[in-house]
Amino acid sequence: MRFIPSAAFVFAASLATACGGPLEEEAPGAEVVDESLASQEQGVDESCVGSSVVLAQPDGASVNAVFPHCSYADAAAASNDGTYDQPSCAHRFVTEVTGLYGNFAQPFVEVIPASSNVTESACKGLAITGAAFGYANGYWYSLGSVSTTGTWYPAGPFFPAFCGLRVNIGSGGSGYSKMRVTGLGAALGVFKARVRTGVRIGNGPC
């Protein structure tokens, strides 16, 4: 199964807007080794569309999208802990969301901190990495990737300070039967944290 350029997909199928280069669905590649888990190259995530990827806890999960009426909802799964790992998709928790039927979906990745009391420095020390892929007509298409840190929001007149640990991946897309979203959360760039990956669906208020 091949991963083909999005431009060809849009031109030939006119199904969705996507980005990224060609990718074969291939056998497991070598694990990237670096001082920081979050600094690993995108090639690791690209191997996550292969058929050998584990889509069951603790390394991943399969979720069927249930579209809400007049609202938004997440079709997502969270890792049990920070031990997710597998040869085909090193250091990534993978959620495959099925049942999209071509409807628009916004992929996201979210880090789940060990404590609800996250300080500003701890927030900015949490690394967030993810990538998303859409499947249509026998091909996977890249929907984008993200590599960032937690965002600290100072207190306002009506809300306390808080740490934002959820990040959208790309601008989302439509025309796909399913999407696969990968994620990695790392505290201090080394110790893996729990992570939640999936898509936001729904048309909002009626």
pLDDT score for 44: 63
* 10-residue stretch averages of pLDDT, the chain, 206 residues long: 43 35 38 39 72 93 95 97 90 96 97 88 93 95 95 91 95 96 87 94 90
pLDDT score for 189: 65
Residue 138 and residue 1 in contact, taking contact as beta carbons nearer than 8 Å: yes
pLDDT score for 96: 98
Contacts of 8 (CB under 8 A, 6+ apart): none
**Cα angle for residues 156, 172, 182 (degrees, 5° grid):** 90
pLDDT score for 116: 80
Q: What are phi and psi of 43, to 5 degrees?
A: -55, -30
pLDDT score for 30: 29
Q: Where are the beta strands (DSSP E) in 116-190?
A: 126-136, 139-149, 151-153, 162-164, 166-168, 178-187
pLDDT score for 2: 52
Q: Which two tokens stand for residue 34?
A: 């670096």
Q: Where are the beta strands (DSSP E) in the chain?
A: 2-3, 23-24, 60-64, 73-78, 93-98, 106-112, 126-136, 139-149, 151-153, 162-164, 166-168, 178-187, 191-201
pLDDT score for 43: 57
